[in-house]
């Protein structure tokens, strides 16, 4: 039996579970430890999976950035899960045709490294519910936002997870990796 590739979702999260618009609250916590953690995720992957909204945000910003992380993000193969987008102009980007869950089941069986899912809250939830998410990596920031979209809103089905790894950064951010239990 072949293990296949892993789909690893990485999200910035507040203490109260908000994952929406981290560009508004994340940057004061950005330090070398966080940069290394995010860099490690990209180093272990050869594909970046994005939902349409996150794709549009990334595609508007990353092509204009420079540096090691920008080079990694701009150069990596990108897949966009969208029912409304037909084409994607950003370098190395393909829009997934048809059913995303079916397509990703097939892609997971192909040779390669990890498939990173960045942001893309709706897609993260769908893959977790479908049993396709192998790791959920949360960088939990020591801030309470009070409002915003949460990763697990009221009504989310019970989903047992097991803590696979944890670290605490000097800025108070928790780096938590969960796997399906």
pLDDT in tens, 32-44: 998 899 888 888 9
pTM of the shown model = 0.88
Interval 50-96: pLDDT, tens: 988 889 988 998 899 888 878 888 889 999 998 888 888 898 999 99
| Predicted confidence band of residue 149 (pLDDT cuts 50, 70, 90) | very high
Report the C-alpha gap between 67 and 74 in whole angstroms. 10
> Would you say residue 1 lies in a domain?
no
Task: Please list, residue by residue across 104-130, b when 16 or more beta carbons sit within 10 angstroms of its beta carbon and e when fewer do.
Answer: beebbeeeeebbbbbbbbebbbbbbee
> Would you say residue 2 lies in a domain?
no
- Structural domains counted in the chain: 1
> Would you say residue 55 lies in a domain?
yes
pLDDT at 3 over 60: no
55 close to 82: Cβ distance less than 8 angstroms: yes
Domain range holding 40? 7-180
| Predicted confidence band of residue 4 (pLDDT cuts 50, 70, 90) | low
Mean pLDDT of 13-34: 92
Interval 83-132: pLDDT, tens: 888 888 898 999 998 889 999 999 999 899 999 998 889 899 999 999 99
> Would you say residue 159 lies in a domain?
yes
Distance of CA 89 to the CA centre of its chain: 20
Q: What is the CATH number of the domain that holds 39?
A: 3.40.430.10
């Amino acid at each position: 039996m072949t293990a296949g590739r892993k789909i690893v979702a990485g999200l910035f999260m507040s203490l109260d579970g908000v994952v929406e618009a981290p560009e508004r609250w994340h940057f004061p916590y950005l330090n070398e430890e966080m940069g290394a953690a995010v860099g490690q995720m990209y180093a272990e992957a050869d594909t970046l999976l994005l939902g349409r909204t996150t794709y549009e945000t990334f595609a508007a910003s990353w092509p204009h950035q420079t540096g090691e992380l920008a080079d990694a993000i701009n150069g990596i193969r990108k897949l966009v899960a969208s029912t409304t987008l037909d084409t994607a102009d950003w370098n190395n980007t393909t829009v997934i045709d048809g059913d995303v869950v079916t397509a990703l089941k097939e892609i997971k069986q192909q040779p390669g490294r990890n498939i990173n899912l960045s942001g893309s809250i709706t897609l993260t939830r769908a893959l977790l519910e479908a049993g396709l998410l192998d790791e959920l990596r949360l960088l939990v920031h020591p801030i309470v936002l009070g409002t915003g979209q949460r990763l697990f809103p009221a009504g989310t089905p019970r989903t047992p997870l097991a803590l696979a790894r944890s670290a605490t950064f000097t800025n108070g951010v928790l780096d938590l990796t969960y796997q399906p239990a």
